[in-house]
């Protein structure tokens, strides 16, 4: 029996024509690996946007302004969903990924509703001449806008990943 580290020589017992008998990875598994990689990047980007979105809340607390409970609750929901989404991605748990999709969507809808509900942000959008005084409001609007775009990409990526993780349907 020939040893493995014999240099560049071909192992005995093969002439190189056995390539057709080698195992081939199913296309579904490569799609799952690519989907997990993409979802990992989306989760990191979503976490960065979330950290920037926490900044206006912290500024409001430092200035002893009232806390926007809808915005704070929505950001908390998104934070928890990102953690659960990461668990689902790492452990290939479809139920965790489904929970992540639903919870993060609810969270982003809550933050969007918080921005729409606030009349201050609407004043800033209509009158940009006073934008320097309202930098925090503009930051909030930007975070929600970017977060909404990331959420749409996140849902499509996660749905594709879930579809590829599920076993194929067999015909009866």
| Residue 28: predicted pLDDT | 85
On the question of pLDDT at 140 being above 90, the answer is no
Note whether residue 161 is domain-resident. Answer: yes
Most confident residue range from 2-6, 63-67, 136-140: 63-67
In a domain, 16, yes or no: no
CA distance to 77, 79, 148, per residue, from 109 (Å): 11, 14, 8
Whether 11 maps to a domain, the answer reads no
Task: Give the pLDDT band of residue 66 (cuts 50, 70, 90).
Answer: confident
Residue 72 in any domain: the answer is yes
What is the pTM assigned to this prediction? Answer: 0.78
Model confidence pLDDT, tens digit, residues 13-51? 666 666 666 666 778 888 999 999 999 999 999 999 999
Whole-number pLDDT of residue 148 = 95
**CA separation for the pair 90, 67 (Å, rounded):** 35
Question: Considering only CA atoms, which of 115, 162, 28, 165 is closest in space to residue 123?
Answer: 115
The arithmetic mean of pLDDT across residues 61-84, rounded, is 92
Residue 22 forms part of a structural domain: no
In the chain, the number of structural domains is 1
pLDDT of residue 167: 75
pLDDT given at position 127: 67
Contacts of 110 (CB under 8 A, 6+ apart): 70, 71, 73, 74, 77
80 burial (CB, 10 Å; 0-12 / 13-18 / 19+) is middle
Give a yes or no: residue 10 inside a domain.
no
Residue 125, domain member (yes or no): yes
Q: Tell me: the pLDDT tens digits for 88-113? A: 999 999 999 999 999 999 999 999 99
Within-domain flag for 9: no
- For residue 118, the enclosing domain spans 27-165
């Amino acid at each position: 029996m020939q040893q493995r580290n014999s240099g560049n020589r071909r192992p005995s017992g093969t002439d190189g024509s056995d390539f057709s008998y080698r195992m081939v990875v199913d296309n579904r598994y490569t799609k799952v690996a690519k989907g997990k990689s993409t979802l990992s990047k989306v989760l990191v980007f979503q976490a960065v946007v979330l950290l920037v979105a926490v900044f206006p809340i912290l500024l409001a607390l430092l200035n002893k302004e009232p806390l926007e409970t809808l915005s704070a609750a929505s950001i908390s929901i998104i934070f928890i969903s990102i953690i659960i989404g990461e668990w689902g991605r790492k452990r290939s748990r479809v139920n965790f990924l489904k929970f992540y999709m639903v919870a993060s969507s609810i969270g982003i809808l809550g933050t969007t509703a918080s921005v729409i509900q606030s009349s201050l942000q609407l004043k800033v959008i209509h009158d940009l001449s006073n934008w320097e005084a309202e930098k925090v409001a503009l930051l909030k609007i930007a975070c929600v806008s970017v977060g909404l775009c990331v959420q749409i990409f996140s849902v499509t990526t996660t749905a594709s990943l879930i579809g590829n993780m599920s076993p194929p349907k067999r015909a009866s």
